[in-house]
Amino acid sequence: MLRSAMARQVHLTETEDARHRMPRGLRYAVFGVVAGLLLGAVYLISVRGQALLLELSGLAQRLFCL
């Protein structure tokens, strides 16, 4: 009896765990989108990074370093 109650408890915990886990297909989709965005950002930084930095360093000096 105790064993079956424990088994039921384990089953409930596993069900609860599964409910809180992101569905596999969605997880792959999220990883794919994020990876694509990151790769795109790295590419843009590699081709346009200096222009970006110049504008930002000007701002930082104006904001904090005068």
Partner 1 sequence: MQKQVTSAPASVRPLWLVVLAAGVIVGVAMGLRQVMGLYLPPMTRDLGIGREPFSTSMAIANLIWGIGAVAAGMVADRYGAGRVVVGGILATVAGMYWMYAAQTPFDLIVSGVLLGIGVSGTGITALVGAAGRAAPPEKRTAAIASLGMASGIGSFIAFPYTHLLMDVVGWQNSLLIIAATIALLLPLAWPLSGSPASSGLIDRQTLGQAVKEAFTHPSYLLLMTGFFVCGFHVAFYGVHLPAFVADQGLDASVGVAALTMVGLGNLLGTYVAGQSGRFIEKRRGLSLIYFGRCFVFLGLLFLPITATTVIALSAVLGLLWLSTVPLTSSLVATFFGTRWMSMLFGVVFLSHQLGSFTGLWLAGVLYDATRSYDMMWWISIALGLFAAAVHWPIQERPVPRLAGVNAA
Binding site for partner 1 (CB under 8 A): 19-22, 30, 34, 37-38, 40-42, 44-45, 48-66
Please state, in angstroms and rounded to a whole number, the distance separating the CA atoms of residues 35 and 42: 11
Nearer to partner 1, 2 or 63 (CB): 63
Nearer to partner 1, 3 or 64 (CB): 64
Nearer to partner 1, 11 or 40 (CB): 40
**Tokens at 13, concatenated:** 């915990």
Element (DSSP H or E) covering residue 24: helix 24-64
Q: Rounded to the nearest whole angstrom, what is the least distance from the CB of residue 44 to partner 1 in the complex?
A: 3
Cα angle 43-33-55, degrees, rounded to a multiple of 5? 40
